[in-house]
Structure 1
Amino acid sequence: MDPNLVALLLIGLLLALLALGVWVALALTIVGYLGIAWFTGAPAGAIMATTIWGQSWSWALTALPLFIWMGEILYRTRLAASMFTGLAPWLTGLPGQLLHVNVVSCGLFAAVSGSSAATTATIGRITIPELEKRAYDQRMIVGSLAGSATLGFLIPPSIILIVYGVAAEVSISRLFIAGILPGLMLMGLFMGYIMLWSAFHRDRFPPREASMPMLQRLRATAGLFPMIGLIVVVIGSIYAGFATPTEAAAVGVVGALILSALSGTMSWASFRDSVEGATKTTCMITLILGGAAFLSVAMGFTGIPRTLAAWVGSFELSQFQLLIALTVLFIVMGCFLDGISIVVLTASVIMPMVQAAGIDLIWFGIYLVIVIEMSQITPPVGINLFILQAMTRHDLLQVAKMAFPFFLVLVLATFLLILFPGIATLLPSLMTRG
């Protein structure tokens, strides 16, 4: 049968299963099995067993549950709560005042959680009441938090970068390093938008708080040092070449347990909850990866990736045109799927095209994550929107409107990354030379 027709049938079947509410991992496995059974003479059951088993014991995947567990432990400590008091004295003098605490807090917590959803829930629980108490504009409170929390996907240790690294078979260490400058760029863009907005809406800000003496500022900042120290140890050990991502994740877990104990929040209940939360999340991601790996193999047997790559190649698109087309595709997919699902669903089909176009896979991973970050703040399945809806008195449509300007900031960041690829490739290239 014509591979184009096969592709349409399998894609239609996958969309139908997802629309019926079938788990993503199960939907991927079913479509892969039927693709092999219906359209090839290969033994579908044996291929499914070997592929899923081979995917599940990947050593690179070992870092995943450890980083998730580290974030779960810190999520239950008082360390995150110290962010507002530690950052506020330093940021209140900027245009936009304490709204910048949302951005910087999300950036810091993203560097130890690796999760956008965890960043939204943790930082929102701390900053929303404080900013509302000070009568900041509600749209900017919610919007800046929704946008900034997407940093959990990009700033290492990013869970989705680990998933991409496994799916695309590229170095997770280099992906982590590549995410640092784009993460800082995004923080700068978010803060820049807040400053610009504040210049035109000065009447929507409370009176500026009195400046603290330097010694008092330093005392307030002391609560940030443990978390910053953990970030430096985990990410610094990878960048310096002292540890692999898996080893750094293990160090991070130990450090998080020590900090939790020292902060007085470690109890048997919190320990059990952290293990349970990490186990659930890891199982979900691992099952999705297994199903996606099997679907990728099934696609290979049917010849769909080769046919699709040849079809796209027939248009003779430039790199820029291809990336614009992919950006639109991923934004549309982000309206209906979560980020991890987008990565594993598209890896087998997109990667041949990307490689054929001569695009660096490390750079493409960072580009993909920034585009996927948009899915966190686009209805109807933007997880950050749901979390903020539950934490505020606004409905989902209102929250989406509040987040929309920061969605546009993410679009701007995508174009900057395309125009200046060195933002993502500079640090990995320096790491290779070193």
Structure 2
Amino acid sequence: MNELYTTLIFLFVLFALLGGSVWIGLALMGVAWVGMELFTTRPAGDAMITTIWTGSSSWTLTALPLFIWMGEILYRTRLSQDMFRGLAPWMRWLPGGLLHTNIAGCTIFAAVSGSSAATLTTVGKMSIPELRKRGYPEHMIIGTLAGAATLGLMIPPSLTLIVYGVTINESITKLFMAGIFPGLVLASLFTLYIMGWHFFTKGPRPDPEPPMSFGTMLAESRFLVPVLMLVTVVIGSMYMGFATATEAAAVGVLGSLTLAFFQGSLSWSTFTQSLMGATRTSAMISLILMGAFFLSLSMGFTGLPRALADWIDTLNLSPLALIVALTIFYVFLGMFLDGISSVVLTMAIIEPMIRQAGIDPIWFGIFIVVVVEMAQVTPPIGFNLFVLQGMTKHEISYISKTAIPMVGLMLLMVVILVAFPDLATWLPENIRSRPTG
């Protein structure tokens, strides 16, 4: 019963602060402070300073701002704009035509961005005008883009996986390895959805693209080469064990700056804008993590996570039943919080549960990314929905309807992960990598 009162107090303070429009990171610190003052004898200020410094000075976290900066550089230079020109010749012959550029573009940019919002903005900026000009249905343009942009959270370098790994002290490189196959499978599901729309629905279809010789297709593909080379170097160096996540991120920043320079799209203005954009995003995520570290300490002192884990254990839930319950929980939570906030807010309680149930934490990291991906496209706080609203000027309700099939495909991906757990665990278990961040 004491644990119930403690939980209610934590939740009341948290929702009161969030409802008062307090920043999420500060709200987490506020909840932790109340917990320390009410339920422990340790000075809250001393505990907060020590915990925040210890957590935020982690070497592993240095990969976070570097990967963010790499994505910002690509977003603000012509490298991203050339992607549509390089992709279009190869997508035109698929059932569904150039709609597949949304999926392929998001998949490629996700591998150098790590951010769903950056992926959506970059690919949307290049594909929406082109697809509209060719007469593709608006609901398919927006729906496929909203869903495919969430691949930025799954395909490495994923910011959400970095945050998850730091929070539960797991190898970032192993988590990146675990995300590659599920990310490609999810991208394939989105592709099959477009093909299904092409074959099984009625309605206007855009005119076929004019014929293009194989030589011309190869010539147009040169615009993809720089980005693909960068992806190969950054991701390949981690998978082959040549670099840690942090070292690979540093190589990615240097590579993206070099490519932008030789392309002629790197100016002092572009450089400073990308640096400041990365600084703002990194500061926001770091503040959330600081609050999460302090909240984890506070909850640890109260014994709440262990008590809740023990209570779950008394229910005798099978691992499958626990996964079903957590899927429902995170889908609901994702309606009100973004993915990173959902992860850091819950890990102090969820981690003991999954370890006690014998669930692989690497596999669970991929599972949790899939379910928090839904948070990006579910109202009322679906961040991708707001980004798309700004880009297309449609109502949120319309954009939400177009994204419903994509949410269904993400739920199907959860089922696939449960049925085939090796999809996430095979690479980390069979490829040697450098263990540090």
TM-score by length of 2: 0.98
Specify every segment of 5 or more residues in structure 1 that has no aligned partner in the other structure, as ranges. none
Gaps of 5+ in 2: none
Query: In 2, are the aligned partners of 1:83 and 1:105 still within 8 Å (CA)?
Result: yes
Give the whole-Å Cα distance in 2 for the aligned partners of 1:93 and 1:226: 24
1:214 aligns with 2:211: no
Q: Give the superposition deviation at 1:202.
A: 5.1
Q: Distance in 2 between matches of 1:56 and 1:88?
A: 43
Q: Relative to structure 2, which stretch is displaced further, 241-250 or 200-209?
A: 200-209
Paired AA for residue 37 in structure 1: E
**Aligned-pair CA distance for 1:325:** 0.3
Partner of 2:145: 145
Q: Which residue in the other structure is 2:355 paired with?
A: 355
Q: For residue 120 of structure 2, what is the amino acid of its counterpart? A: T
Deviation at 1:12, TM superposition (A): 1.6
Q: Tell me which residue corresponds to 2:4.
A: 4
Deviations 1:86-121 (A, max 9, x none): 111111111111110100000000111110000111
- What do the CA deviations read for 1:179-211 (whole angstroms, capped 9, x no partner)? 100010011000001101111235332122133
SS of 1:203 mapped into structure 2: coil
Farther off after superposition, 1-10 or 22-31: 1-10
Other structure's SS at 1:381 match = coil
- Aligned residue in 1 for 2:42: 42
| CA distance in 2: counterparts of 1:107 and 1:212, whole angstroms | 24
Query: Within 1, Cα distance between the matches of 2:88 and 2:340?
Result: 34
| CA distance in structure 2 between the aligned counterparts of 1:362 and 1:204, rounded to whole angstroms | 45
Per-residue deviation, 1:337? 0.3
Query: Secondary structure, in 3 states, of the residue corresponding to 2:393?
Result: coil
For the 8 Å contact 1:299–1:305, the answer to whether it is kept is yes
Q: What's 1:304 paired with?
A: 304
Distance 1:251 1:309 in 2: 41
User: 8 Å contact 1:111–1:156 — kept in the other structure?
Assistant: yes
Offset at residue 4 of structure 1 (A): 1.9
Structure 2 partner of 1:382: 382
**Partner of 1:271 in structure 2?**
271
Aligned residue for 1:425? 425
Name 2:129's counterpart in structure 1. 129
The superposition leaves residues 148-191 of structure 1 with CA deviations (integer Å, 9 ceiling, x where unpaired) of 00000000011111000000100000001111000100110000
- Tell me which residue corresponds to 1:87: 87
1:164·1:365 contact (CA, 8 Å) conserved in 2? yes
- State which drifts further: 220-229 or 39-48: 39-48
Partners in 2 of 1:199 and 1:16 — Cα distance?
50
Correspondence 1:224 to 2:227 = no
- Give matches, 1:5-404, under 5 Å: 5-201=5-201, 203-404=203-404
Amino acid at match of 1:354: I
Corresponding residue SS for 2:428: helix
State how far apart, in whole Å, the 2-side matches of 1:282 and 1:77 are.
20
Measured in 1, the distance between the counterparts of 2:415 and 2:16 equals 33
Amino acid aligned to 1:314: T
Indicate the residue corresponding to 1:407 in structure 2.
407
Structure 2 residue matching 1:187: 3-state secondary structure: helix
Instruction: Output the CA distance in 2 between the equivalents of 1:201 and 1:415.
Output: 26
Report the secondary structure of 2:80's partner residue.
coil
Deviations 1:254-296 (A, max 9, x none): 0010011111111111111111011111111111111101000
Matched to 1:2, the amino acid is: N
Q: Is the 8 A contact 1:377 1:383 kept in 2?
A: yes
Instruction: Please give the per-residue CA displacement for 1:367-398, whole angstroms capped at 9, x wherever unaligned.
Output: 00010000000011111111111111310010
Q: Distance in 1 between matches of 2:378 and 2:3?
A: 33
CA distance in 2, matches of 1:44, 1:84: 53
Cα distance in 2 between the residues matched to 1:39 and 1:183: 42
Q: What amino acid maps onto 1:15 in structure 2?
A: F
Provide the rounded CA distance (Å) in 1 between the counterparts of 2:110 and 2:392: 22
Could you say what secondary structure the match of 2:136 adopts?
Answer: coil
Aligned-partner Cα distance in 1 for 2:287–2:206? 49
Would the aligned equivalents of 1:4 and 1:307 in 2 still touch at CA under 8 Å? no
CA 9–433 in structure 1, closer or farther in 2 if over 3 Å, else same: closer
Q: Is the 8 A contact 2:239 2:433 kept in 1?
A: no
Whole-Å separation in 1 of the counterparts to 2:79 and 2:402: 28
Q: Which amino acid aligns with 1:149?
A: A
SS at match of 2:358: coil
**Which amino acid counterpart does residue 117 of structure 2 have in structure 1?**
A
- How many angstroms apart in 2 are the aligned matches of 1:87 and 1:207? 18
- Distance across 1 between alignment mates of 2:72 and 2:51: 30
Letter in 1 for 2:364: F
Identity within the alignment, % = 53
CA distance in 1, matches of 2:433, 2:156: 21
Residue 332 of structure 1 and its aligned partner are, at CA, apart by: 0.4
- TM-score normalised to structure 1 length: 0.98
CA–CA distance in structure 2, aligned partners of residues 370 and 328 of structure 1: 12
Q: Tell me, yes or no, if the aligned pair for 1:71 and 1:113 is still in contact at 8 Å.
A: yes
Runs of 4+ displaced beyond 6 Å: none
Q: Deviations over 1:293-325 (max 9, x none)?
A: 100000010110111001111110001100000
State the aligned residue count.
434
